[in-house]
């Protein structure tokens, strides 16, 4: 067999595995794998530096399949390259990541060939994709990370980090706003290590793109500042390879390759139609396709002789050699630069440097206090100096979010200053979320920030962070009505509930400056969960921790902050954030009137839910049914803690534009209100309007 014939056989193996898997599963997307098999073949077998033996080798090229519905491309190539599996502790397991059995069980429970690419479930998947646009946007974070890592760790003769990032996307990805945000920033930053290949097939689910997508995509990317190339035939391997050669020579601009393709290539009845997109071809059409490829029509899941060996001789040999060279290089690097080498190794395991939390401030009691965002700013500036690879920024609200790192030498990340630790995302919250994910997938410790209200604009990426089990951090300030005059467009209501509803996401709303610090202490030690930190704009009294319980209780999600002498409450006030000091004030008043009140500070439902039943019962004593939750957010969900006989002082409407004090009065966020409700619950007062409203 000639080389060319072998290549064609390998490409058709990708195609037919994809076709057979979708047919077997009776669901999935065959058309795009059929069209893009030559592209995937070229990237993997001829271009990428990736060692299937070690899919987490730090200097590997990254591959992102942003059009995640074409997942069979990834399962096929991971299988054919015999990429090995690693576990969540980054240990290599020796077995293959995706077996032929997995592919036979495409989209079935427990198969390592799920519907869409899932990071953390399948080794070799660099990021979870499926929500269109996320993959390409995330790839920008990966490219930023490479630039930052190269600048920090490379030395003369030691190119420890010099990898590229390849992302493949379709019409859908480029219609989504998030990709535009990310593309704009990628060009601004001059990310010449980044390449997006656009599968220009003129088809989406509803039919031809002419019904909805008629802009000049190339001109758009040129205008952003990308280097735009076009390959007019998706089956032309030489041209595809040539385009990547140009990418490698291009400086200071990312590269965008428009690849004209035919969805369902080879299918006599479905090629170039939306029918090839989202359903199995059908038995008869499958046979016709195989005939067109010169494939045995009655064979399924066939990997012809020589195909595994062909990939082993291509990406296998090239990747092994590249990794071997790098491993030797790194050994020499370790001798010359032991500290830098140690940092790189810590980072790979998501560990922190020794004494990462030294100099974290402790705030003295202060009735005037300090804003959550200000305490956070102090913590960030300490942590970023202790942890070199802890970095981040805001979507143009740094001065408001107090997320700017302003210590000497922190610097701004720009194309000409890849050392900078302050990332400027611009007003691009959604891309910020995805880029933060990309940075984290590259093992940096990143944070992104904006007003809590605009978490809506980043939510899809935050959700993926949680799904991927990434230890990212999202800092959201202006957490409630503190910025009163801005009015209801800026006042979060349902946002806490919405964050709390995302599985595996740790949401924290600390009640004073020391709780903010403890929140950071908790967050920084996470390995597999993202965190959302919800902070006040306005000063919150710093509680006297000699009088009240220590802020270290934050690590348990909720804790008894103030209690009755015998730890024997008749009413429990539960609060988070700015309402904690309100609850404490109410507590003082109740105690003065002889009512046995307890205050529970509850910065995090998520953390609390993970405590033992015994601990939870010690905080929320089961037989105390007089419970009041106080939170400047939707009442939605608080029933679980106050029970049927409790009461929630919260929001059931949008807010309003007015000074904070007036809003607090209007919506009942005042200590006297809490006192009244407590008495009502205990049957010690007349039923009031407030109680009826709550």
Ligand X SMILES: Cc1ncc(C[n+]2csc(CCOP(=O)(O)OP(=O)(O)O)c2C)c(N)n1
User: Residue 200's beta-bridge partner residues?
Assistant: 260
CA separation for the pair 364, 239 (Å, rounded):
66
Beta strands across the sheet bearing 597-601: 559-562, 597-601, 571-575, 627-634, 647-651
Give the 3-state secondary structure of residue 280: coil
Q: Binding residue for ligand X (CB under 6 A) from 102, 171, 285, 631?
A: 171
Q: Under the criterion CB under 5 A, does residue 179 sit at the interface with Mg ion?
A: no
Residue nearest to Mg ion (CB): 171
Q: Which of the stretches 157-165, 197-205, 616-624, 659-667 binds ligand X when contact is defined by CB under 6 A?
A: 197-205
Restricting to residues 512-541, name those near ligand X by CB under 6 A.
none
CA separation for the pair 419, 413 (Å, rounded):
6
Cα 78 to Cα 45, 63, 103, 196, 278: the distances in Å are 11, 11, 11, 20, 22
Q: Which of the stretches 129-137, 319-327, 567-575, 665-673 binds ligand X when contact is defined by CB under 6 A?
A: 129-137
DSSP label of 365: P
Q: Binding residue for ligand X (CB under 6 A) from 172, 392, 482, 541?
A: 172
Q: Binding residue for ligand X (CB under 6 A) from 117, 130, 603, 637?
A: 130
Q: Under the criterion CB under 6 A, does residue 135 sit at the interface with ligand X?
A: no
CA separation for the pair 335, 347 (Å, rounded):
18
Does residue 245 have an active-site annotation? no
Residue number with CB closer to ligand X (80 or 174): 174
CA-based nearest residue to 356, from 401, 402, 390, 387: 387
Cβ-based neighbour number of residue 11 at 10 Å: 21
CA angle 347, 471, 344 (to 5 degrees): 5
Task: Number of residues interacting with ligand X: please give it, by CB under 6 A.
Answer: 19
- Least Å distance between CB 428 and Mg ion? 24
The answer to whether 244 and 272 have CB atoms below 8 angstroms apart is no
Cα 388 to Cα 189, 381, 391, 403, 565: the distances in Å are 21, 11, 8, 16, 46
- Least Å distance between CB 493 and ligand X? 25
Residue number with CB closer to ligand X (176 or 483): 176
The answer to whether 284 and 13 have CB atoms below 8 angstroms apart is no
CA separation for the pair 165, 444 (Å, rounded):
16
CA separation for the pair 126, 486 (Å, rounded):
40
Residue number with CB closer to ligand X (60 or 430): 430
Q: Under the criterion CB under 5 A, does residue 203 sit at the interface with Mg ion?
A: yes
Residue number with CB closer to ligand X (69 or 445): 69
Q: Under the criterion CB under 6 A, does residue 177 sit at the interface with ligand X?
A: no
Restricting to residues 69-98, name those near ligand X by CB under 6 A.
69-70
Q: Under the criterion CB under 6 A, does residue 129 sit at the interface with ligand X?
A: no
Residue number with CB closer to Mg ion (30 or 671): 30
Residue number with CB closer to Mg ion (70 or 281): 70
CA separation for the pair 217, 175 (Å, rounded):
10
CA-based nearest residue to 675, from 647, 654, 645: 647
Q: Under the criterion CB under 6 A, does residue 107 sit at the interface with ligand X?
A: no
- Least Å distance between CB 97 and ligand X? 23
- Least Å distance between CB 205 and ligand X? 5
**Paired tokens of 155:** 């030395």
Q: Binding residue for ligand X (CB under 6 A) from 12, 97, 127, 201?
A: 201
Give the 3-state secondary structure of residue 235: coil
Q: Under the criterion CB under 6 A, does residue 131 sit at the interface with ligand X?
A: yes
Restricting to residues 25-44, name those near ligand X by CB under 6 A.
32
User: Residue 207's beta-bridge partner residues?
Assistant: 204
Q: Which of the stretches 124-132, 437-445, 579-587, 599-607 binds ligand X when contact is defined by CB under 6 A?
A: 124-132
Q: Binding residue for ligand X (CB under 6 A) from 170, 393, 539, 637?
A: 170
Residue number with CB closer to ligand X (137 or 140): 137
Among ligand X, Mg ion, none, residue 130 binds (CB under 5-8 Å by kind): ligand X
**Paired tokens of 68:** 């995640």
- Least Å distance between CB 196 and Mg ion? 14
**Paired tokens of 360:** 């974290």
Per-residue contact flags (x/-) with ligand X for residues 591 to 630, judged by CB under 6 A: ----------------------------------------
Q: Which of the stretches 169-177, 571-579, 626-634, 665-673 binds Mg ion when contact is defined by CB under 5 A?
A: 169-177
Residue number with CB closer to Mg ion (69 or 490): 69
Q: Under the criterion CB under 5 A, does residue 170 sit at the interface with Mg ion?
A: yes
CA-based nearest residue to 432, from 193, 141, 65: 141
Cβ-based neighbour number of residue 297 at 10 Å: 12
Cβ-based neighbour number of residue 57 at 10 Å: 17
Per-residue contact flags (x/-) with ligand X for residues 49 to 68, judged by CB under 6 A: ------------------x-
Q: Under the criterion CB under 6 A, does residue 132 sit at the interface with ligand X?
A: yes
Q: Binding residue for ligand X (CB under 6 A) from 147, 262, 277, 424?
A: 277
CA-based nearest residue to 459, from 432, 478, 482, 477: 432
Q: Which residue among the candidates 285, 429, 579, 680 is catalytic per the annotation? A: 429
Q: Binding residue for ligand X (CB under 6 A) from 27, 90, 155, 205?
A: 205
3-state per-residue secondary structure call for 538-564:
CEEEECCCCCCCCHHHHHHCCEEEECC
- Least Å distance between CB 343 and ligand X? 37
Positions of E strands within 296-444: 366-371, 390-394, 422-424
Q: Which of the stretches 127-135, 184-192, 321-329, 349-357 binds ligand X when contact is defined by CB under 6 A?
A: 127-135
Residues with catalytic roles: 429
Give the interface with ligand X as residue ranges (CB under 6 A): 32, 67, 69-70, 130-132, 170-173, 176, 199, 201, 203-205, 263, 277
Give the interface with Mg ion as residue ranges (CB under 5 A): 170-171, 201, 203
């Amino acid at each position: 067999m000639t080389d060319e014939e072998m290549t064609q056989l390998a490409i058709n193996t990708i195609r037919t595995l994809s076709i057979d898997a979708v047919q077997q599963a009776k669901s999935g997307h065959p058309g795009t794998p059929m069209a893009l098999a030559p592209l995937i073949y070229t990237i993997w077998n001829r271009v990428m530096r990736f060692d299937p033996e070690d899919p987490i080798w730090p200097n590997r090229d990254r591959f992102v399949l942003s059009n995640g519905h074409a997942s069979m491309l990834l399962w096929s190539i991971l299988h054919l390259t015999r990429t090995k599996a690693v576990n969540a502790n980054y240990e290599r397991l020796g077995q293959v990541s995706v077996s032929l059995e997995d592919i036979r069980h495409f989209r079935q429970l427990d198969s390592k060939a799920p519907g869409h690419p899932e990071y953390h479930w399948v080794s070799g998947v660099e990021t979870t994709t499926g929500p269109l646009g996320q993959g390409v946007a995330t790839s920008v974070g990966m490219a930023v990370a490479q630039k930052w890592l190269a600048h920090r760790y490379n030395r003369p003769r030691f190119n420890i980090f010099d990898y590229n990032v390849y992302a493949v996307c379709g019409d859908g990805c480029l219609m989504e706003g998030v990709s535009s945000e990310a593309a704009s920033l990628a060009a601004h930053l001059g990310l010449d290590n980044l390449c997006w290949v656009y599968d220009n097939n003129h088809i989406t689910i509803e039919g031809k793109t002419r019904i909805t997508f008629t802009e000049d995509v190339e001109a758009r990317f040129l205008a952003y500042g990308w280097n735009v190339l076009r390959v007019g035939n998706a089956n032309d391997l030489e041209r595809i390879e040539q385009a990547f050669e140009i990418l490698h020579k291009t400086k200071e601009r990312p590269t965008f390759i428009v690849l004209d393709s035919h969805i369902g290539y080879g299918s006599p009845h479905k090629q170039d139609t939306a029918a090839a997109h989202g359903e199995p071809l059908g038995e008869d059409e499958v046979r016709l396709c195989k005939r067109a490829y010169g494939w045995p029509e009655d064979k399924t899941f066939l990997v012809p002789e020589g195909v595994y060996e062909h990939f082993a001789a291509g990406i296998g040999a090239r990747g092994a050699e590249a990794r071997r060279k790098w491993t030797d290089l790194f050994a020499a690097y370790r001798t010359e630069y032991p500290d830098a080498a140690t940092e790189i190794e810590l980072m790979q395991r998501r560990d922190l440097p020794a004494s990462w939390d030294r100099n974290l401030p402790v705030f003295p009691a202060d009735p005037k206090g300090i804003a959550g965002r200000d305490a956070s700013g102090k913590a960030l500036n300490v942590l970023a100096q202790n942890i070199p690879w802890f970095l981040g920024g805001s979507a143009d609200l740094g001065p408001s979010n107090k997320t700017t790192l302003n210590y000497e030498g922190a610097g701004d990340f720009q194309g000409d200053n890849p050392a900078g630790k302050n990332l400027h995302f611009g007003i691009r919250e959604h891309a910020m979320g995805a880029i933060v994910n990309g940075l984290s997938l590259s093992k940096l410790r990143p944070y992104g920030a904006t007003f809590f209200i605009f978490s809506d604009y980043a939510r899809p990426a935050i959700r993926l962070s949680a799904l991927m089990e990434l230890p990212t951090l999202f800092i959201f300030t202006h957490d409630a009505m503190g910025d009163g005059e801005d009015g209801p467009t800026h006042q979060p209501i349902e946002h806490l509930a919405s964050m709390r509803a995302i599985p595996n996401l740790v949401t924290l709303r600390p009640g004073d400056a020391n709780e903010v610090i403890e929140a950071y202490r908790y967050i920084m030690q996470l390995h597999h969960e993202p965190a959302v930190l919800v902070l006040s704009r306005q000063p919150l009294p710093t509680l006297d921790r000699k009088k009240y319980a220590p802020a270290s209780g934050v690590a348990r999600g909720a804790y008894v902050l103030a209690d009755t002498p015998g730890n024997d409450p008749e009413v429990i006030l539960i609060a988070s954030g700015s309402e904690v000091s309100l609850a404490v004030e109410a507590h003082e008043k109740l105690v003065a009137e002889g009512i046995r009140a307890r205050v529970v500070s509850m910065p995090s439902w998520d953390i609390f839910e993970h405590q033992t039943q015994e601990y939870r019962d010690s905080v929320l004593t089961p037989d105390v049914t007089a419970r009041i939750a106080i939170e400047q957010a939707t009442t939605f969900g608080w029933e679980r803690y106050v029970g049927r006989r409790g009461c929630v002082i919260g929001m059931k409407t949008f807010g309003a534009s007015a000074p904070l004090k007036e809003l607090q009065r209007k919506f009942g966020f005042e200590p006297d209100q809490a006192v009244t409700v407590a008495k009502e619950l205990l049957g010690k007062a007349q039923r009031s309007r407030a109680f009826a409203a709550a």
